[in-house]
Structure 1
Amino acid sequence: MNMTPDIAPVVFIIFNRPDLTQRVFDEIARARPKKLFIIADGPRETRADDVEKCQATRAVVEQVSWDCEVFRNYSEENLGCRKRISSGLDWVFSLTERAIIVEDDCLPDQTFFHYCTELLEVYKDDERIGSINGSNMTHGRVTVADSYYFSRYPFIWGWATWRRVWENYDVTISNWPSLRETDWLSTVAYPEEFAHWINAFNQIHDKGLDAWGYQFVFMMWLQRQVSIQPRTNLISNLGFRSDATHTAGTSDVADLPREPLTFPLKHPKPLVLNSEADKIYTKEHCFREVRKRGIKRQLQKIASWKYFSGK
């Protein structure tokens, strides 16, 4: 197995769950990155137990037992997901050109770190690529010969990106009011998911929804960028439980098994979107109404778009 020896800088986002933080941190420690950035939110005033939990969580990441340069960005007040993660990543990318990002409930397979590191180098100057995903939510229903494929969707349960991408991030999605009056959404999304994304972008822009991931999708679509998707699932989200901020319920993508990639990686050519995989994600996670008639035609149309030229 020929894997990248030196792992790219790793960002670890933590809050108030020391047990999950320990499990994920153990995997980071196994990967032994030379640079580690830690972003921590502060305790909520409305939760008295947050002070102790945040302290216990921060104590976990003091256990750096390998040769590593550690950077810490801790907030003493609670900023919430929207402000804490966006401001934390602003800080990260002011200090590094590339990074692998993991949150406290996203348990990575060890090959995830090597896969991200290699592809951060391979695609560092390719403006068509916006992010590298660790998750694969197709439940094994999409088979490809290569180690990864390309998707319109960035998944943020373990991912990687570059400064050149993050510098376009706008937490307020200020362009949305003008774009929603045009047919822009029809150039980047399937008709069946329009309602989902219109609602999400309205909630972000008009109501200040405490989230940051929708903005990343918006930014990538605005830039006509796509994500890299691993052939196997490399991340298990452990956070679907009662103390979660956004994943307190149950889900068929909770605790997905991890399956390591094999090396050396086999790179796909040319750069073509995998419409089969995107169809699965769209139908199972974005549809408000699934309209069966016309889906195949729309998929064929989108797969043939001059997406990367911005036309």
Structure 2
Amino acid sequence: MTNAPIALFIFKRPEHTRRTLESLAQNSEFHHSPLFIYCDGARNVSEVEAVETTRKLVRGWPHPDKTLIERDHNWGLAKSIIEGVTVQCDLHGKVIVVEDDLVVSPHYLSYMNAALVKYQDDDRVISVHGYSYPIDNLPEAFFIKGASCWGWATWKRGWDLFEPDGQKLYDELKRLNLMHRFNILGAFPYMRMLHDQILGRNNSWAIRWYASAFIKGKLTLHPGKSLVSNIGLDGTGDHCDPEDMRPPNFSSDPIKLEDIVVAEEANALQAWAVHLTVMRRKKMIKILSSLNLLMRVVRRRLGLL
């Protein structure tokens, strides 16, 4: 089996990047996989030092088949990932994608490569994903419609379905009356996220990747126990909120891919919806509590208490 190339996207967080590389190096396949590191450029003068420190780290990182792509200006994450994944799929027919704020399990690459081989000719499957919500009693591995973005892999035939035009995707979801299901049974505002991308309020490639796969009815394989942890939910990255996720309990064993029905797992989808609903309610309660505290402070200063 030929290991898929790894595309690692980095910017200006040397400590996060180091932890990402250290975790990848715990995978036996890492040093037998082509490694392409995409280094984005600084947005302004204040970022130059951090960008250069991060680049020095990856330049010196030992790997027998390493290629650095150093941008001379800032591309932004969306453009960088879209271009990088396109190039890797055109050259190699498949790719494993990792960003600089992810720590992966020692079983991550074996899972990714095995799934890429197992489903390479199955047109129903568009991608493989490494993250799992911290939910108990999920199947060892299962399929859900759409695509995700925290440690994933795909083939050229899958990535060729990516539609960069958010408005086209939004209009098609509405035409097909898929908004409720696209929002994970109403549990998460993905339609709003897509609309914000259209309006320029975010530049998310991931919401367009999810919508592209979902509209086509394509499936993504997910592990029941996570093989990925996001360490960037600390305010150092874009669009981060520490309340979104909890540190996962990494799977202690390799993920077995036998006897998985290639169809959406309804029970897992429902479990996702419940989890996301609970998380959103907790976040709302926290916001309301903060607002209530702020109002009490204001009223006290105005002598109303």
TM-score of the superposition, structure 2-length normalised?
A: 0.81
The whole-number CA distance in structure 2 between the counterparts of 1:132 and 1:191 is 18
| Alignment map for 1:116-265 (pairs within 5 Å) | 116-137=112-133, 139-144=134-139, 147-176=140-169, 178-185=171-178, 188-189=181-182, 192-193=185-186, 196-207=189-200, 209-247=202-240, 249-251=241-243, 253-262=245-254, 265=256
Query: What displacement does 1:95 show?
Result: 1.7
- The structural deviation recorded for 1:190 is 6.0
Cα deviations across residues 9-67 of structure 1 (Å, max 9, x unaligned)? Answer: 1111101000010111123334213311111211112xx33111111111222234343
State the alpha-carbon separation in 2 of the partners of residues 157 and 232 from structure 1.
14
Which position in structure 1 is the counterpart of 2:295?
Answer: none
Q: Structure 1 counterpart of 2:50, which letter?
A: K
Using the TM superposition, name which of 215-224 and 22-31 deviates more.
Answer: 22-31
* Matched pairs, number: 278
Report Cα offsets for 1:115-143 as digits up to 9, x if no partner.
10011001001111111110110x24234
Q: Any idea what the Cα deviations from partners look like across 1:81-118, whole Å, max 9, x if unmatched? A: 22222222222222221111111111001111001001
Larger Rg: 2
Contact 1:108/1:235 (CA < 8 Å) preserved in 2?
A: yes
Q: Report the residue type matching 1:222 in the other structure.
A: I
What residue ranges of structure 2 are gaps of 5+ in the alignment?
282-305
Q: How does 1:1-311 map to 2 (within 5 A)?
A: 7-30=3-26, 31-45=30-44, 48-68=45-65, 70-137=66-133, 139-144=134-139, 147-176=140-169, 178-185=171-178, 188-189=181-182, 192-193=185-186, 196-207=189-200, 209-247=202-240, 249-251=241-243, 253-262=245-254, 265-285=256-276
Matched residues in 2 for 1:196 and 1:261: separation? 34
Q: Is the 8 A contact 1:196 1:287 kept in 2?
A: no
Q: Distance in 2 between matches of 1:287 and 1:226?
A: 25
Q: Which residue of 1 aligns with 2:297?
A: none
Are the equivalent residues in 2 in contact too, given 1:232–1:261 (CA < 8 A)? Answer: no
Unaligned runs of 5+ residues in structure 1 are 291-311
**Whole-angstrom CA distance in 1 between matches of 2:174 and 2:116:** 36
Say whether the 8 Å CA contact 2:16–2:231 is kept in structure 1. yes
Give the Cα separation in 2 of the matches to 1:15 and 1:280.
34
More helix by share: 2
RMSD of aligned C-alpha atoms? 2.6
Q: Which runs of 4+ in 1 moved over 4 A?
A: 286-290
Contact kept, 8 Å, 1:238 with 1:254, in 2: the verdict is: no
Q: CA, structure 1 residues 28+270, in 2 after alignment: closer, same or farther (shift >3 Å)?
A: closer
Q: How far is the alpha carbon of 1:171 from its aligned partner?
A: 2.1
Distance in 2 between residues matched to 1:195 and 1:180, nearest whole Å = 15
Tell me, in whole angstroms, the C-alpha distance in 2 between the residues paired with 1:60 and 1:270. 43
